[in-house]
Amino acid sequence: MSLQQLFDLNGRTALVTGGSRGLGLQMAEALGELGAKVALTARKRDELDHAVEHLRARGIQAIAVQCDMSDPTAIAPAVGGAIEALGPIDILVNNAGTTWGAATIDHPLDAWQKVINLNLTAMFVVSQEVGKRCMVPRRKGKIINIASILGLVGGGDPGRPATIAYNTSKGGVVNFTRSLAAEWAQYDINVNAIAPGFFPTKMTKGIMDMMGDAVAHKAPLNRVGGPEDLKGLVALFASDACAFITGQIVAADGGVTII
């Protein structure tokens, strides 16, 4: 099989949670550019519609599925809607997430639960639903979980606010990825994770504003992530090129985690 064929996603369906902006939309672009049909989920209808319009303008077949992923009961209908519109899901990108900045001693319990529910519990529920309805019966599929470099390290940088719930949830994503990969390898389902470093998004705006250029200077490559910097990894993990890769967590961080 040629390299071009290995990366060809024509005829496949991808579901990208939290896909209306930021990293989710960047990854949706990559999948669509390789030929996949793309379903996006997000809470806000206007942002979803704008994202779908953006993808369609690039020649990508895309639909919007409005869903609050923090509500576990909303996930099954959303998955069902995507399947009904585009067919069985071949690629799942678990990207929906949130954060909360607070010192542990002052961290509200409801904020902790909000972060854990969206960043980790929703990932479990949507993976279970897609696995049950599409991937396990068909004995194939690619799952890409979005972790974070803050799930790989303690995050004790005095120059940034404490985010213990976020860090904990992303650490959970790391081992969720490994555990699911081990369990579902028998079905030829590949489960991998991307651990982004600092990218300018709506969620990171507060930290970016607080730390300024120091964010970029923390990376050996001396910059933050850009609009193309996750495309290669998501293309690899979504395609047949990763047939022998599973349970891996790859940092896209400009080298932050090597120092």
Catalytic residues, by residue number, are 166
d(CA 146, CA 214): 24
Torsion of CA 18, 22, 27, 28, to 10 degrees: 60
For residue 145, report the phi and psi dihedrals to the nearest 5 degrees.
Answer: -100, 135
How far is CA 74 from each of CA 77, 87, 128, 259, rounded to the nearest angstrom?
A: 6, 19, 14, 41
Q: What is the rounded distance in angstroms from the CA atom of residue 147 to the CA atom of residue 129?
A: 20
Run of H or E including 253:
none
**Greatest CA span in the chain, whole angstroms?**
56
Whether 141 contacts 239, CB under 8 Å: no
d(CA 229, CA 234): 10
Beta strands in the chain (DSSP E): 13-16, 37-42, 62-66, 91-94, 141-146, 189-196, 249-252
Q: Please, are residues 184 and 136 in contact by the beta-carbon 8 Å criterion? A: yes
Assigned token pair, 214 = 């120091």
- Contact assessment for residue 59 and residue 29, using Cβ atoms and an 8 Å cutoff: no
